[in-house]
Structure 1
């Protein structure tokens, strides 16, 4: 089956199997076949085996994530067909499900892909990347999930289910060290506080890795520095009722991101974006300081033999300040920062019904309130700014010795009249968003026969959304602003270069009513094989967009999804498969467009779009000593040729950004018992992506060719797995690849590029008690 999807997958499978055949065959003779561990998921708000859920869903246990060294959100993306996770920094991620990207940092723009933590949405871009540690499991749902997960899950949801406190005593730790000065410490401790009544759990995480890019102006770039603490309490009110309180805190202080341009050489003369040096201003001042805090209260209460009440209460906030050099060079020309703040509270009450008969379902109500701001300071030396390509004056940016060219100190605007260029200019803009939403929802499954089920779901939303904009002028007019560098100047206003000043905040408030839903027919061929067909409607909320001169409502983006799937197992549960194919039709597709007045890239209407795709997941365990997984995703997604009126669209025929047409991953877990209760293991893994564009306009050169990454973990355990001593290596071939390109620098004619992680390796020791 895999051969029909891509020959590289088959080649890798065959190559690794051949290389490891002696170990596998030796184990086969002494180990009986056994069933794969089953995972219980709650994607449909009730406990089900993955194979029973008529949704394209990937679920991985916490043990699986530990076995394959999943320490970052981007690692999860390598395991799930149709999911891409791009992480410039913890403050600036991009989540892509089936070709649709959710990465806007503007406070007034809602995500397409929802990220949840124990049922609480943490979807706002600047607060959505949390450290995946001490997890029970991860569920990734692909396709519109608004009925199940709410207004932000237009095209999918990533759900992190954390380990809760329980009535028992356990503890564990992992310590590790690696190249680039990496150190890792993570651990947990669980204990009863009052037997059978109250339990507590604490988990901690601390990882630091120096940047792998040396900054010639001081410091290093593209590193990691994350600390996180989680505390939870579990209270048993009676045999059927319980409460879980979960408190999360995370602090990220990594060094800056290495935005490298290929148009301006470093002081050493390099324009190679894969050269692991950069020449960015402000040295060690570059970087991120982000704090994320959250509190979740989960309640489950039996109301009778068939009814239960579930309550999910959430509170979150995040504060972040990131400094970055947008022109990617030693010029003090496009120096930016981003200061983001977000606060939210939410409450969901859900009544679940299951009497063991033909019908199961739930209905409920939810409340969500969120407010946030994003402030973007900009500073420049105008004498360097005029040398950038976007200005178009043809002044060379560097002197022969490689230093910035600041020799032009004034510009003539008329005979005998010149305007001096400021050595330091500063301005900033900010956007704000405030949303209050009420939702009513219901979803139920009726067994039409022993084999055929019908599921219908509907969610209605009333939301009030406010968008705001402010631009500040700091007292001294800019000569470049007077000349209209950022658009036509208004002589009645103080003059900035990029952002026309406003007199305080400009806001606009709108209310919207909407509905999304799903209809699913599920068919049980037998106890081992299930199929489904589904139709669902997804929606990304409308955007209230405000700038210095006007405001508009970018219409809600709508998608109709048509999907067919087949899932089940062979060999008594030793081979598990999941196959899905889908077609999406989008209207009012929200993309980013350049505002001609401010030069900002803002939300805009990209018209009609569509996507076709297929996904395959296989998991195989022929015996206790061997298991493996294989995933493959195909997607053909892009903008349609014409809009509803028959007009050719501006982005006609373009592919969606950050969307490989093909993606695949595979891995094996080989183990063997040896003398003295020890066990050795070998876990190679591989992931591959075909070519991607980094912008919807598909600019040549702002792209990444296809590439593959190879990882390996090996080691041994003692005392039935109580102790684990391991070695790991990631990107073993030290492959050069990009995780992003274009960025803010392309506004100034200096598109920038961000490298992916090079080869990393290290050792780890884990213990469980």
Structure 2
């Protein structure tokens, strides 16, 4: 199978290369705006082709070595309407054109994408891809990832904190913070993987667009794109002076400053600086002090573009982000003082008060080089370094009982280099070949703290059952409603008889995991035009991985009295929950793998296309290392089948797409925090096989120049199979995937009404809906969120044709109460916790453009 697929791919390229004509034509010209000013940095591309260039400092461009025949060239520049011009390439001749760009006022955004590593109309991309332009984020006041996901069918994003996001595409979740485990969903920023969960939350500001590709995308986006990819494409510098600044204030003391400044450094060099400060007090009051579920983020970006010649573009981009959040509002559903009325949607009472927090710093630099080699070939190079570090303090029992406190410290760094050669040497073939290297090294430490008086009270019902009723039940709360910390007095005689010291008011232990991977990849992807209507696309990516993982459980020099009292029942003595190891235990492995895709595309007419595809996705093998040693978990495999239809009106005012899919998922793995043989462990478990059937559709319509509408809908039935690959019944058989609503939809619009010369009133409402969601694979009743919907709106005035903007916004206007997570670490001890979603947010903003 591998040989035949690779041979077919090589065959496609071979046909194209051998058929390339020896005599080619060309096209050159200049690009200006309606005032006659040159437009530098405009993107010029030949449709159905990788061939293209960028206009130079004087607006000039030239594309040569074009195969004879009819072609269509597109000219695209931010803020202007995309122009399409038909021309005929004649051997030995280069035609000259002059292009006047008009400001964009009456067409849909997001119709051009780079999902297949080349600029194309979204109509011509034979995969399910959603593209959201930066203007959409501004129009609807979308600044967070989870809010953005509500408008993309098939995508869910859960953000407990910037250190704990979960990306879900078509039911498959990627939210593992373990440094040894690879993601299932690739998250990219300008062509660079930022997929590790602790470093993948980024601020949404000064974005060109965000593309979401659904289904296995390993051929296009590498080893982590098992079920899809999210690609953040940031605005690049342009050859003009301009900027924008937005200042805002809202309830919960929200403060916002966001903006950018763009200017030319010389005729060939441009710079763009942008940033965002977004701070808000927590919306959950902590009765022990402070608030929870707040936000405090500062993000900065510098981008430099250099055009050394008409053939070469160099972009250097540096991002820096610091998050300093208050703690996460884990609220227990059962550990509640008799004197308090605690619920997931009221105040919390977490004993650490203001000492709960979530800190993170992440930064990275990327160098992008695009160079035309001539004769239908181009070279792309992507080089990047990225680093993150985080600290977090959380109360896992969700109460004022000092029993389960955890702290996390994580660190990761990565370097990557990709080289890609692209071709459109003939009218029949477009595609690319290349290779990449990826190095990543990181670690994650989990620190456990407890007051043993509280911990033995928490465990006493279980110990009483295990001892046949000999052990007393210790109350969690005293008569005064405060946590009962008198276990020493109750059990002093027993402890003395056993020669044990008193329970400690403070006990601490920790473990740390380590992950390192070096990955080498080669890849190729090509589309061959068999007829004017039928095309075949094939892609293959081969990967070699060298993995070295480690684990260390630490004894910090002071034994746990609870652990000694239970005489090894927890298997971790002299610790309580974490078994100590003799130094670091290491596991290593090397793996060869492949992923691929095959697509048949059919051009129904000039405005609509259909496609059928089969693709194979993979998440790499896991070397799991515990106190007992190391074991290798099999790679996860997704085989997906998809059928889709796309329509785009000739004036780009109407866009519609629909896709149906079915996939089979083998060796499904899930991370669990459980007590195994009495020891607290974060483990990856093989969940067996699963299957999914789904449908996604979306529509955008520019009804008039002043009215735009959008809507989308997603349906998915994703569940564990009845039997595994060996024919054995599965424990989770029939259970639905976590964080996955069966039905989801959103709709909204943008209306602009002239009120006097150059001044307009705008109104932008939206509504999003999700059906029932389970938060754990076990689908326990109560560890779920029932169906709910959110109504949002932004309205205001555009003055002087948008130079000034005054806006009011409201999110969750109906005050819907809902959960974003439930279960969590507390569930392993029988005490699930709950995290509430944001309440009603209201605020105002003022924007100046220059």
Shorter-chain TM-score bucket reads over 0.9
Indicate the residue corresponding to 1:29 in structure 2.
none
Of 428, 439, 452, which aligns to 2:534? 452
* Secondary structure in structure 2 of the residue aligned to 1:303: strand
**Per-residue deviation, 1:488:** 4.8
Indicate the residue corresponding to 1:20 in structure 2.
none
Indicate the residue corresponding to 1:25 in structure 2.
none
**1:426 is the counterpart of 2:508:** yes
**1:476 is the counterpart of 2:558:** yes
Indicate the residue corresponding to 1:86 in structure 2.
158
**1:529 is the counterpart of 2:608:** yes
After superposition, the C-alpha distances for 1:641-687 in whole angstroms (9 at most, x for unaligned) are 00122110111111111010000011111111121210111111010
**1:36 is the counterpart of 2:108:** yes
Structure 2 CA distance for aligned equivalents of residues 590 and 646 of structure 1: 18
Contact 1:389-1:750 at 8 Å conserved across structures? no
Of 335, 345, 353, which aligns to 1:274? 345
**1:263 is the counterpart of 2:334:** yes
Of 653, 671, 676, which aligns to 1:596? 676
Structure 2 CA distance for aligned equivalents of residues 483 and 220 of structure 1: 37
Structure 1 CA distance for aligned equivalents of residues 815 and 534 of structure 2: 51
Indicate the residue corresponding to 1:720 in structure 2.
801
Indicate the residue corresponding to 1:309 in structure 2.
379
**Per-residue deviation, 1:408:** 1.1
Indicate the residue corresponding to 1:325 in structure 2.
395
Indicate the residue corresponding to 2:431 in structure 1.
361
Query: Normalising by structure 2, what TM-score?
Result: 0.84
* Secondary structure in structure 2 of the residue aligned to 1:480: helix
Aligned length: 732
**1:638 is the counterpart of 2:758:** no
After superposition, the C-alpha distances for 1:71-102 in whole angstroms (9 at most, x for unaligned) are 00111111100100000011100010000000
**Per-residue deviation, 1:573:** 3.5
- 1:113/1:621 Cα in 2 relative to 1: closer, same or farther (>3 Å)? same
Contact 2:109-2:133 at 8 Å conserved across structures? no
Contact 1:388-1:750 at 8 Å conserved across structures? no
Indicate the residue corresponding to 1:52 in structure 2.
124
**Per-residue deviation, 1:34:** 5.2
Indicate the residue corresponding to 2:256 in structure 1.
184
- 1:485/1:415 Cα in 2 relative to 1: closer, same or farther (>3 Å)? closer
Structure 2 CA distance for aligned equivalents of residues 286 and 267 of structure 1: 24
- 1:260/1:131 Cα in 2 relative to 1: closer, same or farther (>3 Å)? same
* Secondary structure in structure 1 of the residue aligned to 2:702: strand
Contact 1:179-1:760 at 8 Å conserved across structures? yes
Contact 2:607-2:650 at 8 Å conserved across structures? no
User: Which residues of structure 2 form unaligned runs of 5+?
Assistant: 1-104, 465-472
- 1:414/1:726 Cα in 2 relative to 1: closer, same or farther (>3 Å)? closer
* Secondary structure in structure 2 of the residue aligned to 1:674: strand
Contact 1:487-1:596 at 8 Å conserved across structures? no
Structure 2 CA distance for aligned equivalents of residues 474 and 567 of structure 1: 61
* Secondary structure in structure 1 of the residue aligned to 2:326: coil
Contact 2:406-2:447 at 8 Å conserved across structures? yes
Bigger radius of gyration among the two? 2
Of 293, 317, 329, which aligns to 1:246? 317
* Secondary structure in structure 2 of the residue aligned to 1:272: coil
**1:158 is the counterpart of 2:240:** no
* Secondary structure in structure 2 of the residue aligned to 1:129: coil
**Per-residue deviation, 1:485:** 8.4
Structure 2 CA distance for aligned equivalents of residues 357 and 60 of structure 1: 30
**1:214 is the counterpart of 2:295:** no
Indicate the residue corresponding to 1:576 in structure 2.
655
Structure 2 CA distance for aligned equivalents of residues 571 and 358 of structure 1: 24
**Per-residue deviation, 1:266:** 4.7
**Per-residue deviation, 1:372:** 0.5
Contact 2:457-2:487 at 8 Å conserved across structures? no
- 1:486/1:284 Cα in 2 relative to 1: closer, same or farther (>3 Å)? farther
**1:607 is the counterpart of 2:677:** no
Structure 1 CA distance for aligned equivalents of residues 749 and 568 of structure 2: 54
After superposition, the C-alpha distances for 1:102-152 in whole angstroms (9 at most, x for unaligned) are 001100010001110000000000000011110100000011000000000
Q: State how 1:58-77 maps to structure 2 within 5 Å.
A: 58-77=130-149
After superposition, the C-alpha distances for 1:509-554 in whole angstroms (9 at most, x for unaligned) are 1000000000000000001110000000000011110011121111
Indicate the residue corresponding to 1:18 in structure 2.
none
CA RMSD, 1 decimal: 1.6
**Per-residue deviation, 1:566:** 0.4
**Per-residue deviation, 1:489:** 3.0
Structure 1 CA distance for aligned equivalents of residues 265 and 513 of structure 2: 47
* Secondary structure in structure 2 of the residue aligned to 1:302: strand
Indicate the residue corresponding to 1:143 in structure 2.
215
Contact 1:411-1:418 at 8 Å conserved across structures? no
* Secondary structure in structure 2 of the residue aligned to 1:589: strand
Indicate the residue corresponding to 2:413 in structure 1.
343
- 1:37/1:225 Cα in 2 relative to 1: closer, same or farther (>3 Å)? closer
Structure 1 CA distance for aligned equivalents of residues 439 and 567 of structure 2: 39
Contact 1:411-1:421 at 8 Å conserved across structures? no
**Per-residue deviation, 1:415:** 10
* Secondary structure in structure 2 of the residue aligned to 1:588: strand
- 1:61/1:754 Cα in 2 relative to 1: closer, same or farther (>3 Å)? same
**Per-residue deviation, 1:570:** 4.6
**Per-residue deviation, 1:271:** 3.3
* Secondary structure in structure 1 of the residue aligned to 2:265: strand
Query: Normalising by structure 1, what TM-score?
Result: 0.93
Of 298, 306, 314, which aligns to 1:235? 306
Structure 1 CA distance for aligned equivalents of residues 122 and 833 of structure 2: 42
* Secondary structure in structure 1 of the residue aligned to 2:741: coil
Contact 2:460-2:474 at 8 Å conserved across structures? no
Of 285, 288, 291, which aligns to 2:358? 288
Indicate the residue corresponding to 2:61 in structure 1.
none
Contact 2:110-2:133 at 8 Å conserved across structures? no
Of 742, 752, 771, which aligns to 1:661? 742
